[in-house]
Every structure is written in C-alpha cells, then in structure tokens.
Structure 1
Amino acid sequence: MFVVMSDSHTDRRVIESIKEYYQDKATAIFHCGDSELPSSDPIWEGITVVAGNCDDDEGYHDFLIKEVEQQRILISHGHLFYVGLGLERYSYFAEEKNVDIALFGHIHQPVAQRINQILYLNPGSVAQPRGAHQTKMYALVEKKGKKIEVSYRNLNHEPIPDLQFLL
C-alpha cells in the first residue's frame, strides 16, 4: 500500500501528520507538488515529491518514475500537461514512459480512472479542495490481484464513503 497526497500549499503540518501516520505502514509516500516548501526541507526524507506550478525551488524534478510494489509509477504535478483541460496530453506521456500508474495533482479534485490500462490518479488536495468534494483528502493505493484499490481518506485518515474504487 502506498500514499498519495498533493497541493498542500505551505501546510507543512498536514504533510507531517500523514507521513507520521503511514511511515511504518506504507511502502511509499508520494507528494504530487505545490507544497511551496523548500526542496531541502527535512520533511521530504522518505517522501517522493515533484515540483508544482507554485514550487519555484529548482531542487524539485518536474516528474519522476518509481518502481513500487511491482508497479511502475509516474509522478508529476500535471500542470505541464494541462491536466485541467483533460488527461489526453498526460496519457500520451504516461504511455510513452510505459507506466502502470500515473499520479498527478494541480486540479485539487479526486480522479481515479483507467485509460489504456494505465491508472490515472489525483489524490485531491490536503489543503484546498475544489469541485464536488470539498473535503481535504489524500489517497491510499493498494494492489489487489490484477486490480488496484483506491481509497480516498480525509485528514482523520477515515475513508470517504463515495470515493472508494477497485479498478
């Protein structure tokens, strides 16, 4: 099981809380950008993080690819692929990189969908939710046989009932 969060926008405490809760439970923790914290912040030890459009620290990467639980995972904030307009550009990039899962942030809304066998996942925002779900949230991802279970959680680490998926 791994954890995905995004768009914390200077709220270091929320990153710290999620990290502390999962550091001995999860195989990986990802942050999809827009933390607005320095890339040298010790909070990032044990967390894979990328640059968002609000992160002007050059120590961050625009995207990374990690192997976790036999899954090849692409992590990006998504703004460079215009994810606010849809996933078409990001899907071309993800397919080119031959990944199983493509994580992204930027839109502050939960997304869990498959396109051409790749799971695209946005964990929503831990600080500034937008859209239909006005809950500060993150996602847990766990491989279940040939499917992937995605469980969105609120900041009390409780499942959000209508945001539980087996894809």
Structure 2
Amino acid sequence: MFVVMSDSHYDREVIAAIKDKYLSTATAIFHCGDSELLSSDKIWSGIQVVAGNCDDDTRFPDFLLQEVEGKRVLLTHGHQFNVGFGLDRYSYFAEEKEADIALFGHIHRPVVEKINHTLYLNPGSVAQPRGDYQIKMYACVEINEDLITVSYKDLNHQSIDGLQFELLMR
C-alpha cells in the first residue's frame, strides 16, 4: 500500500500527520506538489515530492518515476500538462514513460480514471478542497497483482463515502 497527498499549501502539520500515520507501513508516500515548503525541510525524509506551480524552491523535480510494488508510478503536479482541462497531454507523457499509475495534483479534486492501461489518480487536496467533495483528503492505493484499490481518506484517516474504487489493470 502507498499513500498519495497533494496541495498542502504551507500546512506542514497535515503532511506530518499523514507521514506519522503511514511511514512504518506504506511502501511509499508521495506528495504531488504545491506544499510551498522548502525542499530542504526535514519533513520530506521518507516522502517523494515534486514541484507544483506554487512552489518557489527550484530544487524539487518536475516529475518522478519509480517502481512501487511491481508498478511503474509517475508523479507530477500536473500544471505543466494543463490537467485542469483534461488528461490528454498528461496521458501522452505517461505513455511515453510507460507508467502503470500516473499521479498528479493541481486541481484539488479527487480523480480516478483509467486510460488505456494506465491509472490516473489525483488525491484531492489535504488543505484546500474544490469541487463536489469539500473534504480535505488524500488517497491510499493497494496493489494486488492486477487489482488496484483506491481509498480516499479524510484527515481523521477515515474512508470517505463514495470515494472507494477497485480497478482491474490489464
């Protein structure tokens, strides 16, 4: 199981709370950008993080690609791909990188969408939710061979009704 959060906008405590909850049990913890913290902050120990459009620290990478539980996971904020207008541009990039799972932030709304053989996931925002779900949230992703389970959680680490998904990835 790995954890995905995004768009914390200066809220260091929410990052710390999620990190404390999962650091010893998750195979990875990802932050999809717009933390507005420095890349040198000790909070990032054990967390993979990318640059968002509100991050002034140029030492954050624009994207990361790593293997997690046998899947190629791509991480970016999404503003470079105009994800607010759809996933077309990001999907081309993810296919080029041969990603199984493509994580992104920027729009502050939960998204779970399968395009071709790639799962696209936005964890919502842990600080400034937008859209239909006005709940500060993050996502937990469980991989069981070709079955991927996505569970959105509130800041009390409780599952959010209507935001639990199972996808067969073949």
The answer to whether the superposition gives a TM-score over 0.5 is yes
For 1:31 and 1:76, the matched residues in 2 are separated by 9
Deviations 1:26-76 (A, max 9, x none): 000000000000000000000000000000101100001011100100000
For 1:96 and 1:6, the matched residues in 2 are separated by 24
Instruction: Structure 2: state its 5+ residue gaps.
Output: none
Q: Which residue of 1 aligns with 2:157?
A: 157
TM-score under structure 2 length normalisation: 0.97
Q: Which residue of 1 aligns with 2:58?
A: 58
Q: Which residue of 1 aligns with 2:114?
A: 114
Residue 103 of structure 1: how far off its partner (Å): 0.1
For 1:125 and 1:159, the matched residues in 2 are separated by 15
After TM superposition, list the pairs within 5 Å mapping 1:87-98 onto structure 2.
87-98=87-98
For 2:123 and 2:116, the matched residues in 1 are separated by 20
Letter in 2 for 1:24: S
Tell me the matched-pair count. Answer: 167
Q: Which residue of 2 aligns with 1:26?
A: 26
For 1:33 and 1:155, the matched residues in 2 are separated by 18
Q: Which residue of 1 aligns with 2:133?
A: 133
Q: Which residue of 2 aligns with 1:47?
A: 47
**Which range moves more in the overlay, 138-147 or 92-101?**
138-147
Q: Which residue of 2 aligns with 1:84?
A: 84
For 1:86 and 1:101, the matched residues in 2 are separated by 16
Q: Which residue of 2 aligns with 1:12?
A: 12
Instruction: Structure 1: state its 5+ residue gaps.
Output: none
The percentage of counterpart residues that share the same residue type is 68
Letter in 1 for 2:144: K
For 2:8 and 2:159, the matched residues in 1 are separated by 19
SS in 1 for 2:7: coil
Name segments (4+ residues, structure 1) moved above 6 Å.
none
SS in 1 for 2:39: coil
Residue 144 of structure 1: how far off its partner (Å): 2.4
Q: Which residue of 1 aligns with 2:71?
A: 71
Please report the RMSD computed on the Cα atoms of aligned residues, expressed in angstroms: 0.5
